[in-house]
Amino acid sequence: MNHLDQIAKIIQQANSVAILTGAGVSTASGIPDFRSSEGLWTEDHAREYYMSSQYFFKDPVDFWNKYKRIFRLKLLKNYQPNKVHQFFKRLEDAGKDVAIITQNVDGLHQLAGNSRVVEYHGTLNQASCPSCQASYSLDYVMENEIPYCQEPGCGDILKPDVVLFGDMITAHDEAEAILDHVDVLLVMGTSLFVTPFNLLPEYAAYRGIPAIMINGEPTGKDYLFNHVIHDDLSKVVRELSPLID
């Protein structure tokens, strides 16, 4: 039995699957991987500062100008789920309990139809008022160069619902709780560079959960996984799908 056959058998026999995803899952949809060696992130090392909660509260007007440009918000609705997103949906359609824990903020897992998605780093699709917590859609954000809260007596500048540098991660406990009850962990398209997201595979290893890593390049956490594939994600799911169906 070859490597791919073994992975297919593990997934096939699992009733519940937790899937950790990163930017590599969305690149086939045309969304840049900001942290890859060829991604937009390397163009400007100041992005971490400008995309911080500290900078938002220091200069929210300039923050929004940079935020919209960095995340290419005007293009967001042009992006569509790709074969990798669709693979996850097919697992759910096959009757598996699928929980996706994603670093991605593009909303493509929901658009693909997966019903249980934890947006670990928030979402580009909404913004909220830091004063009154009123929530606004991406359409409203895009209609206004600087989005202000419209609630009576408020008028504060909205803050995006993406987790900015310096913000608290609020989804980690939920993610660990999911891992407490799954048969297998599948990790795809992430370098596992960012903490505390990269602690989740360690938690799974501690729990003795079989784990599979599929990524375009090696990561510093590969040793935690029972099976590791370094290859193009779309190619892997194209070869893996018929073995599971």
pLDDT single digits (tens) 139-193: 999 999 999 999 999 999 999 999 999 999 999 999 999 999 999 999 999 999 9
Query: Cβ(19)–Cβ(88) under 8 Å?
Result: yes
What pLDDT shows up at residue 38?
A: 44
pLDDT at 30 over 90: no
- Digit-coded pLDDT (tens) for 115-144: 999 999 999 999 999 999 999 999 999 999
Q: How far apart are CA 199 and CA 220, in angstroms?
A: 12
> Is pLDDT of 40 > 60?
no
Confirm whether residue 98 is marked as ligand binding: no
Q: Find the catalytic residue in 45, 109, 121, 181.
A: 121
Q: Is 149 annotated as a binding residue?
A: yes
* pLDDT greater than 90 at residue 87: yes
Q: Which residue has the higher pLDDT, 132 or 38?
A: 132
Who wins on pLDDT, 79 or 96? 96
- Residue 176, annotated as binding a ligand: no
Tokens coding 114: 């997966």
Instruction: Output the pTM of the full model.
Output: 0.92
Instruction: Give me the mean pLDDT over the 53-80 stretch.
Output: 86
pLDDT at position 231: 96
pLDDT of 33: 64
Q: What's the pLDDT at 71? A: 78
**pLDDT for 36 beyond 60:** no
* Structural contact between residues 102 and 88, judged by C-beta atoms closer than 8 angstroms: no
- Residue 77 is predicted with a pLDDT of 74
| Mean pLDDT of the 196-218 span | 97
- Give 37's pLDDT tier (boundaries 50, 70, 90): very low
pLDDT at 73: 62
Residue 204 annotated in ligand binding = no
Residues 6+ apart with CB under 8 A from 144: none
Instruction: For the chain, give the mean pLDDT.
Output: 91
Q: Give the rounded distance of the alpha carbon of 237 from its chain centre.
A: 18
What is the per-residue pLDDT for 133? 97
Would you state the pLDDT for residue 41?
46
Which pLDDT value is given to residue 135?
Answer: 98
Enumerate the H helices of the chain as residue ranges.
Answer: 3-13, 23-26, 47-50, 53-58, 60-70, 83-93, 108-112, 138-143, 172-179, 200-207, 233-244
**Known catalytic membership, residue 230:** no
Residue 98: pLDDT above 90? yes
Overall average pLDDT of the 34-39 stretch = 47
Report the percent of the chain where pLDDT is more than 90: 80
Which domains does the chain show, CATH number per domain? Answer: 1-31+80-121+168-245 (3.40.50.1220), 32-78+125-162 (3.30.1600.10)
